[in-house]
Amino acid sequence: MGRLRVSVCAPSAAARTGHGRVWDRGLAELGPLVRVVSRRPDVWLADGHGELPETDRPVVAVVHEAPWEDPRTVPHLHPEFVAAMRARLDAVCARAARIVVPSAAGRAQLHFDAVDVVPYGVDAGVFRPGAARGSHVLFVGTAHPRKNVEALREACAALGLELRAVLAPPADRPDALELYDRAVRAPVVVADAPVDADLAREMASAAVFCLPSFSEGFGLPALEAMACATPVVVGDGGALPEVVGDAGIVCAPEPDAIADGLRRALADPELGERGRARALQFPWRRTAEGWLAALRRAVESAR
């Protein structure tokens, strides 16, 4: 089979989100492997969180995560949002030839047979160890309650550790810095459109990186911090244990457990290097090759 003709229906959101950054990097690696076309494709690659294209060609949908299927996360989501997202995902499953998810945990959330698990990647040339490391704990993400930042703040306070947060603001909140200062009660950097090099500098300068979310579809910031050889502590929900493996500290999402995880990470001088070694196993090229394999399977099944 020659190079596939692929049309792409990517998310319209700016690359400020982890989801948007995945699309940017994944498509950059996929582009040389296929022919990206706007007409008469062999197959579509589409965002599984949006509307799928109206087409008679097979569609492969990328589903980043389904937090509304996680029992610890649902209480932090509005019921109308949960209902709408479940209906949308049902519609995607009804129309897609295949679905791609970044983790086995994500696959377990779907009631669909044709699912390919394709982990996301990290640019280890950008996300790399820095020259100097501080003494603070770093969080990167949003201040949504499902990220569990309040429990992390309590854990840091109990240990006398400084918490620093890099947060993506809501598009409709120009007062995001003030909003996040009140919510997180820690030094905050609001990154409207985070640049990988800036995130890498923040991650490489931290003593510990912590992502204590109740659930994550993948947990890209944790992998990026590992690539910076920064010790990583993550919550025990969703894909986070799957991503860090034995190269990070996995803990329950309660403040006491997070504090214990931070303490253990700070006491393990080899944890950062183990994280770096594991992160090197996740190149973006592998993500693109996994997407391509799913696209080929969709075309074959349509014949």
Amino acid letter for position 243: V
Distance separating alpha carbons of residues 276 and 232, to the nearest angstrom: 10
Q: Is residue 154 part of a domain?
A: yes
Could you tell me the CA-to-CA distances from 30 to 36, 117, 247, 249 in Å, in that order? Answer: 9, 16, 28, 32
The residue with greater pLDDT, 1 or 63, is: 63
Express each pLDDT in 220-264 by its tens digit: 999 999 999 999 999 999 999 999 999 999 999 999 999 999 999
Region 71-93: what's the mean pLDDT? 91
Residue 132: inside a domain, yes or no? no
CA angle 285, 287, 292 (to 5 degrees): 95
What is the rounded average pLDDT of the residues 67-91? 91
- Whether residue 173 has pLDDT greater than 60: no
CA 128 → CA 23, 137, 225, 244, distances in Å? 21, 18, 8, 16
> Domain of 273?
137-279
The average pLDDT across 160-179 equals: 67
Is the domain of 292 the same as that of 274?
A: no
69 & 155 share domain: no
- Same domain for 298 and 271: no
pLDDT in the model for residue 19 = 75
Quote the mean pLDDT of the chain.
90
Verify that 19 and 46 share a domain, yes or no.
yes
* 148 and 210 co-located in one domain: yes
pLDDT in tens, 281-294: 999 999 999 999 99
Same domain, 48 and 93: yes
Give this prediction's pTM: 0.91
pLDDT the model gives residue 15? 47
Q: Confidence class of residue 213 from pLDDT cuts 50, 70 and 90?
A: very high
**Structural domain contains residue 229:** yes
Please give the pLDDT value at position 195.
Answer: 77
Q: What is the CATH number of the domain that holds 113?
A: 3.40.50.2000
Q: Are 232 and 222 in contact, with CB atoms under 8 Å apart? A: yes
Q: Is there a single domain that holds both residue 96 and residue 165?
A: no
Examine the domain organization and report whether 151 and 272 are in the same domain: yes
Helix axes 255-266, 149-159, angle to 10 degrees: 60
Strand 5-9 and strand 98-101: the pairing is: unpaired
Structure tokens at 56: 């008679």
Query: Which pLDDT band holds residue 172 (cuts at 50, 70, 90)?
Result: very low
Per-residue pLDDT, averaged over 109-128, amounts to: 95
Mean pLDDT value of segment 188-215: 85
Q: Is residue 221 part of a domain?
A: yes
11-62, pLDDT tens digit by residue? Answer: 765 444 667 789 999 999 999 999 999 999 999 999 998 889 999 999 999 9
Q: What is the pLDDT of residue 190?
A: 57
- 160/217 same-domain check: yes
- Range with lowest mean pLDDT among 151-155, 194-198, 285-289: 194-198
pLDDT at 169 over 90: no
Give the count of domains, the chain: 2
Q: In what order do the strands lie in the sheet with 59-62?
A: 35-36, 5-9, 43-47, 59-62, 98-101, 115-117
**pLDDT band, residue 143 (cuts 50/70/90):** confident
212 and 167 in one domain? yes
Same domain flag for 287 and 247: no
Domain check: are 43 and 112 in the same one? yes
Q: What is the residue type of 303?
A: R
